[in-house]
Structure formats: structure tokens, C-alpha cells
Structure 1
Amino acid sequence: MTFEEKYINKIINGDSLTVMREMPDKCLDLVVTSPPYNLKNSTGNGMKDGRGGKWAGAALVNGYSHYDDNMPHEEYAEWQHNCLKEMFRLIKDDGAIFYNHKWRVQDGLLQDRQDIIRDLPVRQIIIWKRKGGINFNPGYFLPTYEVIYLIPKRNFKLAPKANAYGDVWEFTQEMKNEHPAPFPVALIDRIISSTTAQIILDPFMGSGTTAVVAMGHKRNYIGIELSPDYCEMAELRIERNKKQSELIGLRPLTLFQETE
């Protein structure tokens, strides 16, 4: 089976690290991903027992499907660091990784993910801010931002005119998505459209947003997802997007922004 037959425009149900280790060097142009955040390991925010606070009623109180989101921090950081090293091996000499994570304070210490990205060539930090939100905790201000690490190979360049964007992006959070932590379509559109990448990997594919946006820009995607539930969710979303776009004659991304 060729690389194209095995991986291109496929969502692979499996462990991301295992699957990436089976892929050949420099086979991708771009990685766009956001891993599970190990939120159940966070202290003081209501995530451990679901008693309330800012997470009351949130889908993430139940955790991710098929993921252990309560790993010891050192184990979690090592896992993510190993994943990033594989992503970096897979991108071409003009490729890049856009790695989305969240900074947080844990027991009075800042977790800025340096233990994850420690020896990787970070070129830039992008802040993306969620519009709106509700804060039920009177002890601190409403958390509204996440961090994207741009980790490129040396020859990576943005698409023409994309460098006019600033490094703080504001997008509305996805509200009509069954996944507990979906990417905003507009956020992934900003990333993919800012590159000339033709083969795009998301090793934590979730509900399939990276694939949908890649299709909308006529790019190829590769998805890896541990949860069979999320694989099914993503496949259904992709197929629905294809069918509806064919009927109406819109590119898939435009349609999905309207229906989802």
C-alpha cells in the first residue's frame, strides 16, 4: 500500500504517537493540532469532581472519550514532548507545526508548557482569544485565551500577505459541536490559509475541524484519533460536508460555518 493510499484524506483510529512513528520522514507540509489538556489533573477549578464552578454542566467534566485526562504532570509532559518530536520529524524542510495549548497556574506555579516544547525551535507565540464567555468563579478574571506555538523548520514561510495578521487572534468559540473541546473553524481557517501546505496532519483530530477546513481549501489531510467515537463524529461531519457542498455548490468550509 502506498503512502497516499494509507494516509491521505484518511482518519486513522489509533494512538497518535504509535501511528506517527510508522510514518516516513518529511512526508507532511503542516501539522495543526490541539492535544487533550490533562484538565482532570488541574487543581482548584472544579474539574476533578464536577461540583460546580466554571466547569458546571460542561462536557469536559466527563472527560474526553477514551483518553486518560488525569495523567501525572511529568508523564503528560513527556508524552506531549515525544509527540511533538515526531511531528517535527514528519514535516518537510519548509514545513511547520501549529501547536495549540493552554497556559495555567498550578499550585502557584505557571505551566507555560516549556517542559513540552523545551528543545524545539519555537519561532513565535500566537494568542487566540475567545469572544464572550461566562465566569462563575469570583476568585479570578474570566479566562479567555489559549496559546499557539509556531514551531517551523528553517525554510518555512507564510503564504503571501499572511504576515499582515497580528499575533493576537479573536474568534468565537464553537457552540454547536458535540466534541467537548472543538477548534473554532475560523481559527483553523486562519492557520491553513496562511500557508501553502498541501498535506496537513492533525494527530488529535477530534471532531474533524482540521479535515473540514483543509477540504475547503482543496488541501489534503491526515487525521489520527484515539477515540472511535470522535472518529465516527469526524467521518460523519466530513461526509455531510461533502454532500451538502455538492448540492449547494459551495466550498465545504463556507457551508460548514453556516450549518455548524
Structure 2
Amino acid sequence: MTQLLSKMQTTPILYQQPETLLNTIICDDSLNAMRQMADQSIDLCVTSPPYNLRNSTGNGMKDGRGGKWANARLIEGYQSHDDCLPHDQYVEWQRACLAEMLRLIKDDGAIFYNHKWRVQGGLLQDRQDIVDGFPIRQIIIWKRKGGINFNPGYFLPTYEVIYLIAKPKFRLAPKSNRYGDVWEFTQELDNPHPAPYPLSLIERIISSTNAQTVLDPFVGSGTTAVAAKNLNRNYIGIDISAEYCAMAQHRLNNEEWK
């Protein structure tokens, strides 16, 4: 059964022992938890951080009548995070998170960092200010099948970008290089988390590597952990929201979440 650790129950000494963290969901701030973990104790990081959507014009969440789409729950932010930082603070935070992930992965490890490009004030935010200086090996585009668009001024947005940030010795698992760099998956429809990504997407990422221990510092509803478990890999998930951590634990225990 999955362990659930909270910052009230854990100490820095515990975080520094990798074997105590395997197959565990940690309820804590991601930076705080990662900074207490040992160097090169992780094989792979797979994550999708909050996108700071509330600090935006919000046009992608408005319908053609000027109102907000009722199902776009991200306009309210996340549990324990309002998703509305000043842009420079958001960039600084995400660069700090990537720096910790890079420290944690081994010499043959990699980070799959999922984010979304957007146009803000007429300028493209392609996340270069976040990933600049990190060893990016490739970008992968993944496309959601279907969707609903209420805004007549915009084509339906359907893609997101995964940055493959890799240490020098990282190699794909045998035959995984047959995949192209544009992927298509059906979005999650029955997940109560406001921004889940498809389980099949994360299973492809993990199965394309030789990683035995996978970290997601923004684990949300636990999709990365569930994918790792399905593939007989070890996982470590971190999230600041107690509700999301409980959601992940229920999924990992094959329990219904209500």
C-alpha cells in the first residue's frame, strides 16, 4: 500500500534516505522536499508544474460571449496554490525546481518537463526564460484528441510541449527511438483534478526509459506514480495539496475517489 508522508511527520534525515521514499507520496512543498533529498538518488523526473494561468489575460478560458467556461476549473487555481505569481517570480521558482531535479537525477538520468506555450500581451511565452541554460536534448509535442472551443477569435488549443532535459549518459530504452516527436493521446475525462494529463502519455515516457525510480514533484492526482506502478517501477510523488495527495493515494490503492 502506498505510504503518505506529510511535512509534519517527516524530517530532513528521512528525506535523505532514498529507500525510505520509494513508492511514497510526500505532502510538502516541492522545493522544500527536493532540497532535502540526496544527490543523484533518482533515475527520472516526469512532471507538469502549475502553468501560472491566473496571471494571464485568460483569453483561452473565455467563451465568445465574454464569460468564462464553467468547466475551466483552473481559473480558480489549485488546492493550496492560487496559480497567480508575478511572471518573474514564477520563472525564478520553476528554474529553482528544475535545478533541484537536475541535481537529483543520476548521470544517465533525464527530466521530462511538460509545459504549455501561450501568447501574452502579443508576445510568445515559449518558456525559454525557464529552461534556458538547462541541457535540453529534444522537445516533444503532444496533442490532445478533441476538445471544445467557445472562443471565435482562437483556433482550438490542443497541444503541449515536453522538454527532454537529459544528463550526458541518458539513453532511451531499446526500440523507443522508433517514436516520433509528435504524440497524440486522448485527454483524461474522469479525473477530478483540474489539470490531469493522460496516463497513457506518462506510461509512454516511463516505458521509453530504463529508469527504476521516477520522481514527480508536482504529482497532483498521482498519474505519474500510477504509470510507474503499472510498469513495475518505483515512484516518489510530491504535492503541497493534502487533497491531491489523498487523491493520488486512493488511485494507487485502487480505491474509488469521491
Do the structures match in fold with TM over 0.5? Answer: yes
Counterpart residue number, 1:103 = 117
Partners of 1:46 and 1:96 in 2: how far apart?
A: 31
Q: TM-score, normalised by structure 2?
A: 0.89
Do residues 30 (structure 1) and 37 (structure 2) align?
Answer: no
| 1:56 Cα deviation after fit | 3.0
Q: How does 1:66-77 map to 2 (within 5 A)?
A: 66-77=80-91
Do residues 155 (structure 1) and 169 (structure 2) align?
Answer: yes
Counterpart residue number, 2:10 = none
- The secondary structure found in structure 2 opposite 1:92 is strand
Distance change >3 Å, CA 47–CA 75, structure 1 → 2: farther
Instruction: Give the aligned CA root-mean-square deviation in angstroms.
Output: 1.7
Cα-to-partner distance string for 1:191-235 (whole Å, 9 max, x where unaligned): 000001000000000000111110111100000000001001000
Q: How does 1:100-249 map to 2 (within 5 A)?
A: 100-240=114-254
| Alpha-carbon contact 1:40-1:47 (below 8 Å) kept | no
| Alpha-carbon contact 1:131-1:170 (below 8 Å) kept | yes
| 1:47 Cα deviation after fit | 5.2
1 or 2, which has the higher helix percentage?
Answer: 1
Do residues 90 (structure 1) and 109 (structure 2) align?
Answer: no
Counterpart residue number, 1:60 = 74
Q: Which moved more, 1:35-44 or 1:25-34?
A: 35-44
Counterpart residue number, 2:5 = none
| 1:44 Cα deviation after fit | 4.2
- Alignment length, in residue pairs? 240
Partners of 1:62 and 1:46 in 2: how far apart?
A: 14
| 1:33 Cα deviation after fit | 0.1
Match for 1:21 among 15, 35, 43?
35
Structure 2, gaps ≥5 residues long: 1-13
Counterpart residue number, 2:7 = none
Distance change >3 Å, CA 46–CA 163, structure 1 → 2: closer
| Alpha-carbon contact 1:88-1:97 (below 8 Å) kept | yes
Structure 1, gaps ≥5 residues long: 245-260
Q: TM-score, normalised by structure 1?
A: 0.89
Cα-to-partner distance string for 1:140-168 (whole Å, 9 max, x where unaligned): 10000000000000000000000000000
| Alpha-carbon contact 1:31-1:98 (below 8 Å) kept | yes
| 1:240 Cα deviation after fit | 1.3
Counterpart residue number, 2:55 = 41
